[in-house]
Amino acid sequence: MIATIKTALNTQSISELVEEVSTILETGAGCWKVEYEKRVLFLIVDEIHDRVRIMTPILKEEDLDEDDLWEVMEANFDRSLDARYAIGDGVLWSLFLHPLTDLSRNLFLDGLDQVVTLANNFGGSYCSSDIIFGSD
């Protein structure tokens, strides 16, 4: 049996990966504002609390109508994978939260893609990928 070694990411490796796949707009200690797939994303790494957050704004909370609110709640149940819709600071966000110690390169890159896809699909399919749980 061949053993596979899973290399968890850390702040430094995420920094290198972010530089490789996106355009860095701003950076700070454990945080980045980047352009990725024509969207502005915010990335935050908290090694003390073992968390990574990737997020992009979609629209102001005040512009979210009741039908869209129900759609995003339903999408969080059956049409999004690891990315989710959330409201914070008066903004509807697409975000990915994950423990840092379990985060691989592939999962991080998938998280970036899911956040962008979920944001782009707001008002349409509300999906983060082609996978949908349940049925209509």
pTM of the model: 0.89
Q: Is residue 77 situated within a structural domain?
A: yes
Q: Is residue 108 situated within a structural domain?
A: yes
91 CB-contact burial (10 Å; exposed 0-12 / middle 13-18 / buried 19+): middle
Q: Which residues contact 105 (CB under 8 A, 6 or more apart)?
A: 7, 9, 13, 17
pLDDT tens digit string along 101-128?
999 999 999 999 999 999 999 999 999 9
Q: Is residue 71 situated within a structural domain?
A: yes
Q: Is residue 36 situated within a structural domain?
A: yes
CATH of the domain at 87: 3.30.1460.10
pLDDT tens digit string along 41-80?
999 999 999 999 999 999 999 999 999 999 999 999 988 9
CB 30 within 8 A of CB 46: yes
Q: Is residue 130 situated within a structural domain?
A: no
Confidence of residue 1 (pLDDT cuts 50, 70, 90): low
Q: Is residue 3 situated within a structural domain?
A: no
Q: Which residues pair with 87 in a beta bridge?
A: 92
User: Mean per-residue pLDDT for 14-20?
Assistant: 95
CB 14 within 8 A of CB 53: no
Q: Are strands 39-46 and 83-88 parallel, antiparallel or unpaired?
A: unpaired
94 CB-contact burial (10 Å; exposed 0-12 / middle 13-18 / buried 19+): buried
Q: Is 70 exceeded by the pLDDT of residue 136?
A: no
Residue 73 domain boundaries: 11-120
Q: Is residue 110 situated within a structural domain?
A: yes
Q: Is residue 91 situated within a structural domain?
A: yes
Question: What is the total count of domains within the chain?
Answer: 1
- Sheet of 31-36, strand order: 23-28, 31-36, 39-46, 51-60, 91-99, 83-88
Q: Is 70 exceeded by the pLDDT of residue 30?
A: yes
